[in-house]
């Protein structure tokens, strides 16, 4: 009886090995991810990020790159630097399929140039009648602007105060239209930065952000949006 059981086990093992060698298990390849780089460094005129040694995203200081498409579901190497110099080449990210990721490049070449924690972007349905917006405070040479409020067309837009490096945790809904955005010193009417005639469209997802307009001057803040 024991010999019979042993024989059955050997036959089953052989059949399993045969079935594994007869075919290859394949897994679905996730749709690519999209990544956008924003250059809010103190002194890097153009940041360049190279993905997997082949895909390039450039961003002038204070500006954002276009979205670039990279592989999802596996580690991807990120090299951060300029068109002629590399600051960081040991960065690896694994992104999910269809992810839309925003990376702020911050810092100073006299110290460390690095990415702020990644921010997940969103896409509204094409039928949406609203627009949505988030804010990220990336100015660093600040005093009165350490804690700021975001205002739109004379009304406070978001209830929280923002300190450097902080992004709003969720999107705020806005009706399509033309807006003037202000950054105010928290708890005061002191306007630190203004951006006028900003047109928001229905179905649009926007990121408003601050950065040091003149890094050598305290509280010299600029605003931009994409």
* Domain residue limits, the chain: 28-121, 124-226
Question: pTM of the full predicted structure?
Answer: 0.85
- Return the CATH number of the domain spanning residue range 28-121: 2.60.40
Q: What percent of the chain has pLDDT over 70?
A: 89
Fold of 124-226: Immunoglobulin-like (2.60.40)
What pLDDT score was predicted for residue 2?
45
pLDDT digits (tens, 9 = 90+) for 72-107: 999 999 999 999 999 999 899 999 999 999 999 999
Average predicted confidence (pLDDT) for the chain: 90
- Pick the range with the lowest mean pLDDT from 23-27, 69-73, 200-204: 23-27
Closest CA to 34 of 90, 87, 84, 99: 99
Give the number of other Cβ atoms within 10 Å of residue 201's Cβ: 9
Report d(CA 133, CA 173) in Å as an integer: 7
Angle at Cα 169 formed by Cα 191 and Cα 141, nearest 5°?
40
pLDDT digits (tens, 9 = 90+) for 183-192: 999 999 999 9
């Amino acid at each position: 009886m024991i010999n019979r059981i042993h024989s059955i086990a050997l036959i089953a093992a052989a059949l399993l090995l045969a079935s594994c060698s007869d075919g290859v298990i394949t897994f679905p390849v996730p749709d690519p991810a999209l990544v956008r780089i924003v250059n809010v460094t103190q002194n890097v005129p153009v940041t360049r990020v190279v993905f997997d040694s082949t895909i390039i995203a450039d961003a002038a200081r204070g500006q954002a790159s276009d979205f670039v498409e990279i592989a999802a579901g596996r580690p991807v190497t990120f090299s951060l630097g300029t068109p002629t110099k590399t600051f960081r080449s040991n960065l690896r990210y694994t992104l999910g399929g269809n992810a839309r990721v925003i990376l702020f490049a911050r810092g100073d070449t006299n110290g460390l140039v690095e990415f702020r924690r990644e921010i997940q972007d969103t896409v509204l349905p094409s039928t949406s009648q609203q627009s949505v917006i988030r804010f990220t405070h990336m100015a660093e040479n600040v005093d009165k602007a350490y804690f700021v409020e975001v205002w739109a067309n004379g009304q406070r837009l978001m209830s929280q105060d923002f300190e450097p490096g902080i992004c709003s945790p969720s999107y705020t809904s806005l009706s399509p239209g033309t807006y003037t955005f202000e950054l105010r010193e928290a708890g005061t009417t002191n306007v630190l930065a203004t951006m006028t005639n900003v047109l928001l469209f229905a179905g649009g997802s926007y990121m408003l952000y601050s950065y040091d307009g003149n890094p050598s001057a305290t509280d010299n803040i600029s605003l931009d949006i994409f």
